[in-house]
Amino acid sequence: MRSLAVAIEEANLDKDKICIVSGIGCSSRSSGYFDYNTVHTTHGRALAFATGIKLANPDLHVIVISGDGDATAIGGNHLIHSCRRNIDITTIVFNNNIYGMTGGQYSPTTPTNDKATTSPYGNIDKPFDICDLSAGAGATFVARASAYHAKQMIDYTKKALLHKGFSVVEGISACPTYYGRKNKKGSAVDLIKLIKDNTQMSNDIVKSKLDGKTAIGIFKDEIQPEYTEEYKKVMDKF
């Protein structure tokens, strides 16, 4: 949340032309603490609301705050179609590997064999890689940082805000109550140390996976036709 606030300030964006949209979850409570135009919507539907807002007023900087469950489970279909449309929305995904506010259920990013309230004997599902998913679906800016990598989180978020097209920044974060406690990973400080030890700076996602760590870096940054501009061209024909 602080990284987003600093990135907005450093990008020198007009406060009155920012709209932050969030869904449901511990991440999505953040919108209420920002002094911008904000919309707190329903579970998984932040990107649907944000798409409507952006089409209604393309001059707005529309930012979506979402969690791993909110963005990739109930909101997963909205995520992939927002990516493929390349609509000019910045999405920040707070990934704490679990449904941290709504009961501690396992999410699409919960590591295999880790426990949650809905997987007391261990999760048998293979987790999503949010950055792989977003890049493959067509997002034109994709990056990952973490609560530990605060400087990178600010830098990547700033780049995402200034990018013309659909951008996704995954922020690896900690949930000491549900995820940490259930999996005996220690305190909040221990979880931050775990993030530090299990990540590495690399723009090559594949290489980092071979090393058994999660890559921190910018994985995609390209310019493609933007959705609201293409939509305007169609409307101008009438």
The answer to whether 156 and 145 have CB atoms below 8 angstroms apart is yes
CATH label of the domain that carries residue 72: 3.40.50.970
pLDDT in tens, 106-147: 999 999 999 999 999 999 999 999 999 999 999 999 999 999
Residue 235 falls within a domain, yes or no?
Answer: no
Separation of alpha carbons 112 and 142, rounded Å: 24
206 has a pLDDT exceeding 80: no
Contact 141, 87 (CB under 8 A): no
For residue range 58-111, list pLDDT tens digits in order: 999 999 999 999 999 999 999 999 999 999 999 999 999 999 888 889 999 999
Nearest residue to 56 via CA among 19, 24, 84: 19
Question: Domain for residue 238, yes or no?
Answer: no
The predicted-structure confidence for 31-47, as pLDDT tens digits, reads as follows 889 999 999 999 999 99
Based on the structure, what is the number of domains in the chain? 1
CA-based nearest residue to 68, from 5, 30, 24, 33 = 24
Quick check: is 6 in a domain? yes
Q: Which residues of 75-98 are buried (b: 16+ CB within 10 A; e: fewer)?
A: bbebbbebbebbbbbbbbbbbbbb
User: Is 198 part of any domain?
Assistant: yes
- The whole domain housing 11 covers 2-230
Residue 25 lies in a domain: yes
Q: Is residue 174 part of a domain?
A: yes
Indicate yes or no: pTM above 0.85: yes
Share of the chain above pLDDT 70, in %: 97
